[in-house]
Structure 1
Amino acid sequence: MNRSSTTVNGSERQAKFVQDRINQVEKYFGFLCQTFGSITRKNARLRDKSDILTTHVLSYADNESINHSTRKCLVEFAGNYGTVQDYRQAQVERLEAKVVKPLSNYGNVFKKLKADLKRAIASRKKEMKQQKSLQTAKEKNTGNPNLIAENALQHASEDASRSSKELEDSMNRFEKNKITDLKKVLSDYVKIEMSFHSKALEYLTKCSQNLEAIDEDEDLTEFKNSLREFRGVPSILPRQGEMSNQPGVSSNVNQRPGNTLTSTAREQTLTSSGMYSTDGIDDDDDDDDLSDDDDDGYEYRR
């Protein structure tokens, strides 16, 4: 059955609506994907810088032989602050798996939708061309050509109708999945952030307590004793015994339990997965790594 002109025009309007919808969603999903990718990379760099800080604090504590209170508390501080970075590592991995990857996978979804749209538009154009051919044959008032043109038009109309229905079904599925996935991605992001910050607050509180526990008067007394000894004056103040390294605390931050990736290996885990590109991103070790710049190199995986 040949479709009416109204139906054909309706298909054309539907195709325009679908095209605008695909372009709109693709644009903003691209923005989300790019931004979440940037957040993930920045968190990874912040984790690496914090690991360096932990290493320096431990090194300072290991070489502190006079202020025993400071030494003890700094070792405990480094252990707790290092644990925060273990949780930050888990945050980075979860962001990559539950937020960035699902969004980057939509690149293939948009590619398929555009192919369906292109096929529907081509079928509609073919139908319109057959309508013109039939009209031309009728104007010539010949016999058999009319029958041939009508058959060709019927086949073209059936193909156009089928393509239009397939496109409509594809868009309905896409819209349903898009809403569900967007809700899940944003919910997962919020949960990941809440989980990290709750654990970070717990161990940062311990870090604060470690620093508060430093006995300034005791350490000053020990320094005065050492100073008097170097001057050849006997100490008149009691000295604390030499303190041993705290058990279970390593000065190598990259060997902490649960922290098996070095800073370089962790960064390669993010950039070599193929899910997003870091072209055009400032990934050096300058202090501006943590600035709020825009990363234009982040794209869908095509």
Structure 2
Amino acid sequence: MTLLKMTTRGRHYTIFRSVEVRNLDHIVKDAEVHMGDLCRLLASYTKATAKLRDKADNLVARLFDFSNTETAEIQGGLKTLADDLAMVQDYRQAEIERLETKVVAPLNAYGAIIKSIKANMKRWNADLNRELKELQKLENIRLRNPADRQTISQAQVNARKASSNAQHSMKTMEESILDFQEQKLHDVKKIFLEFIRVEMLFHAKALEVYSRTHHNLEAMNPGSHHQHGMQLFNERSLNTSPGHADVSHFPSSPLAFPTDQSIRRHYQ
């Protein structure tokens, strides 16, 4: 290749390649933004689900407390309701743990993956910049000292070596980014399939329990114990001193739901 062809080809090739590098860089930057946003949102979603589980646990404790103040049939119905709600929270706990391991963790891993790719791209770009620098140096020597064959020859060797390294780096960059893009799309599909499976399974289990709960509540007949309820009311009225309301059944703080009564189960 003649000196003129080499420098002219080099200028055109580096312009074309800089466009391609920017396109590859955009792929990585877009992935960094969107995968990061998805990770933060789904982590927040999982955290909110955990807060909902905690609120439901408090509700279970209150239902047990409330049931102890009622007649036998109402007491049994409320305790059954509390047991069913506790069971749903066991399923919700399993939902939370699966979201953390099957959805949030794989998304979070992309932070380190993208960081590694960006470090490699920085190294590859250094090779591309070195090639451009050597080509510019060769052209400057040719313009300043066209008769200095020895210096020009050495500059040509350096430029060819830099071009060879740059071409290798460019090829490696293209293959790495395209592999990354393909793997990312595969992982996104897998992650959201897991997300949907986890949510479907939780809601299916919850619907099964709530259907039974609804049937049990419908079967509960508070009216059949009207007389018993009035008797209980009268007894409490007699035990309450005049001018003072009996607030013993409205504790100032929720009763802690005994952990040894928890039936935390992990669904498969």
Q: TM-score, normalised by structure 1?
A: 0.74
Q: How far has the Cα of 1:230 moved from its partner?
A: 7.4
User: Counterpart of 2:62?
Assistant: 56
On the 8 A contact 2:134/2:158 being kept in 1, the answer is yes
Letter in 1 for 2:25: Q
Q: How far has the Cα of 1:227 moved from its partner?
A: 4.8
Residue 120 of structure 2 corresponds to residue 107 of structure 1: no
Q: Residues 231 and 114 of structure 1: is their aligned pair in 2 closer, same or farther, counting only changes over 3 Å?
A: closer
Q: Residues 67 and 25 of structure 1: is their aligned pair in 2 closer, same or farther, counting only changes over 3 Å?
A: same
Q: How far has the Cα of 1:7 moved from its partner?
A: 2.6
CA distance in 1, matches of 2:137, 2:78: 87
Q: How far has the Cα of 1:252 moved from its partner?
A: 2.2
Q: How far has the Cα of 1:126 moved from its partner?
A: 0.9
CA distance in 2, matches of 1:89, 1:119: 45
CA deviation map 1:71-111 (0-9, x unaligned): 01111111111000000000000000011011110011111
On the 8 A contact 1:77/1:206 being kept in 2, the answer is no
On the 8 A contact 2:135/2:159 being kept in 1, the answer is yes
On the 8 A contact 1:82/1:253 being kept in 2, the answer is no
CA distance in 1, matches of 2:234, 2:120: 86
Structure with higher Rg: it is 2
Report how many residues are paired: 240
On the 8 A contact 2:63/2:78 being kept in 1, the answer is yes
Q: TM-score, normalised by structure 2?
A: 0.83
Residue 98 of structure 2 corresponds to residue 94 of structure 1: yes
Say which SS state the counterpart of residue 258 (structure 1) adopts: coil
More helix by share: 2
CA distance in 2, matches of 1:161, 1:144: 26
On the 8 A contact 1:67/1:220 being kept in 2, the answer is no
Q: Given the alignment, which residue of 175, 188, 194 partners 1:188?
A: 194
CA deviation map 1:135-165 (0-9, x unaligned): 1222302132112111111111111111101
Deviates more, 1:108-117 or 1:33-42: 108-117
Say which SS state the counterpart of residue 75 (structure 2) adopts: helix
On the 8 A contact 2:64/2:78 being kept in 1, the answer is yes
Letter in 2 for 1:130: E
Letter in 2 for 1:125: N
Q: Residues 119 and 229 of structure 1: is their aligned pair in 2 closer, same or farther, counting only changes over 3 Å?
A: closer
User: Counterpart of 2:126?
Assistant: 122
In percent, how many aligned pairs have the same letter?
30
The runs of 4+ residues in structure 1 deviating greater than 4 Å are 227-232
Letter in 2 for 1:10: F
On the 8 A contact 1:70/1:219 being kept in 2, the answer is no
Residue 164 of structure 2 corresponds to residue 164 of structure 1: no
User: Counterpart of 2:20?
Assistant: 14
